Structures are given as C-alpha cells and as structure tokens.
Amino acid sequence: MRRLSLIVLSVLVVVAGCGTATVTTTQPLTGDRPRPDRVIVQDFGVNAPADERRDGQAVAKTLTDTLITTLSDHGIDAFHTSATPLPGARTASILGEVVYVPGGQEIRARIQVYQGAGSNTRLIAEMEVNTPRSLIPGTDARRTAEAVAARIGEFYRRQGWPWR
C-alpha cells in the first residue's frame, strides 16, 4: 500500500510540473528598432497581499535569475541591473512583476520590454505569462522565464539576429 502511495504521489508531481506557460502578447515586439547591444533584467516586483508576499518574492527572484541565465544561454548579453553600466541607446531593459492570483492555481507575470536610455526610452513589447502551479518549488518561475525567453527568441529569429 505504501509503495502504491509513493507511485501515485510521484505521478502527481510529474504531471503537476508539466503545465505549459501561456504567453499573451499585449503589445507585440516592434521590428523598427536596432538589435540590442545587451539586455538588462530588473528585479521582478511582487503585487500580492502581505501574507503571500514572501512566496511571491521567492518566485520573483527565481524568475529574474532564470531569465538572465536563459537569455545568456541563447547568446544574448543579459545582465542583472546591478551588474552592468547604465543603459545606452540600443540597450533593452526588461521589467516585470509577479501578480498574486487568488486560489494559487497559477503564477502570473506581467512583463515590459523597453529599449533606449533617458528621454529616448521606448516601450517595445508587453506580455503577460500565466503558468500553472506545480508542487515543485521554483519550477513555475523557471517555466515562466523560459516562456518569456522563447518569445524573445522568436522575435530575434524573425529579425535574423543570432539566437542559439
């Protein structure tokens, strides 16, 4: 009986960890901008009630770190805000927040991509990502970051820019 319980639990963990992140583009990436020289990823914020904030902050940190790593793995010069000089005219900046969803069945992240510096900064894309919750800590944030990176990769490929 105990063995059967462990098998059922293992199957539930695997199935719960397999949900697909859904990316909804609310403002498509525009093709009239030059290829970014680098991408700066700001720390994701958290929009949640006080009793959910700690969990939201852990998700936000994992999301920020995984997005930087994933973009870097694809050949993009991606950096955390604290690890790079101020943005230049061709620099892209990613800002976002993890939004609390009542019931806790999904992770929702709102993401904006800007390019430029100072008064020449333009919003070039906006998206929302909904990722079903899993039972494995950190998995949701990683799947969310990978979905955002995949959407950026689609844009890079359409532009003919390098993407590994």
CATH label of the domain that carries residue 59: 3.30.160
Encoded amino acid at 102, one letter:
P
Question: Are 158 and 28 within 8 A, CB to CB?
Answer: no
- Domain presence at residue 47: yes
pTM for this model (two decimals):
0.85
Average pLDDT over residues 96-120: 92
- Domain presence at residue 17: yes
Structural domains counted in the chain: 1
Mean of the per-residue pLDDT values of the chain:
85
pLDDT at 20 over 50: yes
What's the confidence (pLDDT) of residue 3? Answer: 40
Average pLDDT over residues 43-60: 93
d(CA 95, CA 42): 5
The residue segments making up the domain with residue 115 are: 2-159
- Domain presence at residue 164: no
Average pLDDT over residues 137-164: 92
- Domain presence at residue 8: yes
**Confidence tier at 8 by pLDDT (50, 70, 90):** very low
What's the confidence (pLDDT) of residue 33? Answer: 82
